[in-house]
Amino acid sequence: MDCLVIKGGTPLKGEVKISGAKNAALPLMAATLLTDEECVLRNLPNLSDVRFMTRILKSLGATVETGRGSIRVRAKKIEGFGDYDLIRKMRGSICILGPLMGRLKEAKISMPGGCVIGARPIDLHLKGMRDLGAKISIKSGYVHAKTKNLKGAESFLGGRCGPTVLGTANVMMAATLAKGKTVIHSAACEPEIEDLANFLLAMGAKISGAGSPTITIQGVKKLHGAEHRVIPDRIEAATFALAGAVTNGNVKLKGCIPGHLSAVLDKMREAGVNFTAEKNQIHIKPSAKLKSVDITTMPHAGFPTDVQAQMMVLMLKSPGISIITERIFESRFMHVNELARMGADISIEGPSAIVKGGSKLSGADVMASDLRASAALVLAGLSAQGTTRVNRVYHIDRGYENIDGKLRSLGANIKREPGH
């Protein structure tokens, strides 16, 4: 297992290009199963999760050609049985459920795995399939969904922590080939859902309202092949923006969409970070003085849970007390104990972390527990004095393309070594 060794204290400087969005790429790849014609996806990030999804598509019978940042998929003849060993390793793989139901009216998929950030149940995905007429059984670790015909229906997808993003994607994909009209209420509003809808529209689907809480899908008989460019990764963009801010650097993010991370930029501005945002770029500049701000994670367009850990590092640099409240996932404060090893003063009270900022962090050996926590530890290492070793970086490779290479290009002293 690799680790990242970081010598902190250098302000980042230069330009970095933002990669395609992981959270958009996986449902888009799954959507290629909805047609027997060829589909092409461009601006795909080179990530372990994307490579996993490629293997899943092949295991279902699709032919897949990968190019540099692109993929060509033809799912001429597929089967509805999802390989246990592949799917259990990656939670995002649940998004093959909707396309398989749409195309084959049957799917048998092992219960998915992924990060250890609390219970992330798939009950809303299954509810959505039931709403469309599927009968579902769960046996020996597999979900088996089957129906004679998918029928359009009203489907409410709000959960106790807000709407489900992949659940919305699954129902939307299945509904494109259902008979009649489907209305998804309390749909997820994330940009990744809009991106998926745009690809489905290019394939001949009839969808309106994507990006709002109510999505309407009129089923069609058949979808055709299409080409699509994946949107930039708003979480990667937020991470690099915060990396610039915590090192008091001068960093330009190229090829991003600032409107997709409005809530993050708003909080950064409130915290005293100096930056400008234009059409496709964000320019982080050295800041005179930081101040503490309170944050509560919310469904889109609120503050994203996927940036909570990275934002905490900025709050450690800001004098004063800030309260960070996590409303989306329980147990998403696993990075706190590791940050404490670096000298952070953070206490947890229920769903909130109370961060006392302003003291200097010092390098330490730390352990990544999930994707975004590992990004936060890298940011902490960049801003700390001394050397930080972040172990288990396979987590970070699931969601960040060449993070150490990109940071090195900005002047960071970071290298990858074999871990313990």
Per-residue pLDDT of the chain (420 residues; tens, 9 = 90+): 899 999 999 999 999 999 999 999 999 999 999 999 999 999 999 998 899 999 999 999 999 999 999 999 999 999 998 777 877 777 778 999 999 999 999 999 987 755 444 455 788 999 999 999 999 998 888 889 999 999 999 999 998 878 999 999 999 999 999 999 999 999 999 999 999 999 999 999 999 999 999 999 999 999 999 999 999 999 999 999 999 999 999 999 999 999 999 999 999 999 999 999 999 999 999 999 999 999 999 999 999 999 999 999 999 999 999 999 999 987 789 999 999 999 999 999 999 999 999 999 999 999 998 888 999 999 999 999 999 999 999 889 989 999 999 999 999 999 999 976
Q: Could you tell me the two tokens for 176?
A: 């494109």
pLDDT of residue 113: 59
Q: Are 297 and 334 in the same domain?
A: yes
Q: Which residue has the tokens 């070594």?
A: 417
Q: Are 225 and 336 in the same domain?
A: no
Q: Are 36 and 165 in the same domain?
A: yes
- HSE-CB at 277 with a 13 A cutoff on CA atoms is 16
Tell me how many domains the chain contains.
Answer: 2
Domain boundary among the residues 194, 229, 264 is at 229
Cβ(121)–Cβ(143) below 8 Å = no
Q: Are 225 and 307 in the same domain?
A: no
Q: Could you tell me the two tokens for 164?
A: 């489900």
Q: Are 101 and 242 in the same domain?
A: no
Domain boundary among the residues 180, 207, 229 is at 229
pLDDT of residue 117: 45
Q: Which of 3, 95, 115, 256 is catalytic?
A: 115
Buried b (16+ CB within 10 A) or exposed e, 89-98: bbbbbbbbbb
The question of whether 115 is a catalytic residue gets the answer yes
Residue 185, strand partner residues: 156, 214
Domain boundary among the residues 201, 229, 257 is at 229
pLDDT of residue 170: 97
The C-alpha atoms of residue 338 and residue 356 are separated, in whole angstroms, by: 15
pLDDT of residue 420: 65
SS3 at position 198: helix
Q: Are 310 and 366 in the same domain?
A: yes
State which residues form the domain around 265. 2-19+232-418
Q: Are 247 and 102 in the same domain?
A: no
Q: How far is CA 1 from the centre of its chain?
A: 23
- Quickly list DSSP for 273-293: -EEEE-SSEEEEE--S-----
pLDDT of residue 120: 54
The C-alpha atoms of residue 296 and residue 306 are separated, in whole angstroms, by: 12
CA dihedral 325, 327, 330, 333 (to 10 degrees): -30
Q: Are 258 and 127 in the same domain?
A: no
Q: Are 6 and 148 in the same domain?
A: no
pLDDT of residue 122: 85
Q: Are 222 and 277 in the same domain?
A: no
CA dihedral 211, 213, 214, 217 (to 10 degrees): 40
Q: Are 238 and 116 in the same domain?
A: no
What CATH number is attached to the domain comprising 79? Answer: 3.65.10.10
Residue 100, strand partner residues: none
Cβ(71)–Cβ(45) below 8 Å = no
Q: Are 174 and 211 in the same domain?
A: yes
Q: Could you tell me the two tokens for 289?
A: 């003085």
